[in-house]
Structure 1
């Protein structure tokens, strides 16, 4: 087993904008959540289409339908867990005494 050391994070590696704020290198939180929800919605729609296709008598393997449904179920569970964590974090912030 080859173990690699963890590199230290330094403030020098952060890029600062003109106003002294850290430059944004990726999507913001709202965009990331929106993209995640779009993926969950697409997965649910794909699973629904596969189930409807099989129910209509089209030649689609049962295991493909079950895989699509399980993937959609797992993505939905993950989205619900993220929502629960965000709500929990918000509640802990609102209950914090100043």
Structure 2
């Protein structure tokens, strides 16, 4: 039985050991603008859900032709989205306070 040496093995592994290059094409200012726009859009969606719920509730109170279950669904969607937004805000404030307490 003839076993050949592993002289070419290092050449095979070197081609697979190249590190991937990470290029960041956005500046911190652009990232901040993107984050701000996403945050603004999210708050606008919550506001729209609240307004829709209020309109449907007013229609129901005036006796207009509105399904009660549609009003309740809109109301619950608005309530849940507002609660989720408040929880996210609380977590962000908590994280900010934690960062501010760090000693440098």
How many equivalent residue pairs?
A: 84
Match of 1:93 in 2: 99
Query: After superposition, where does 1:11-90 map in structure 2 within 5 Å?
Result: 12=21, 14-17=22-25, 28-90=34-96
Structure 2 Cα separation of the partners of residues 77 and 28 of structure 1: 24
RMSD: 2.3
CA deviations over 1:16-38 (Å, ceiling 9, x no partner): 33xx958x68x622111111100
Give the TM-score taking structure 1 as reference length: 0.75
Runs of 4 or more above 4 Å deviation = none
Give the TM-score taking structure 2 as reference length: 0.71
Quick check: which has more Rg, 1 or 2? 2
CA deviations over 1:52-94 (Å, ceiling 9, x no partner): 0010110101000000000000100110011001101100110
Q: In proportion to residue count, which structure has more helix?
A: 2
Structure 1 Cα separation of the partners of residues 34 and 87 of structure 2: 20
Q: Structure 2 unaligned runs (5+)? A: 1-18
Cα distance, 1:62–1:16 mapped onto 2, change above 3 Å: same
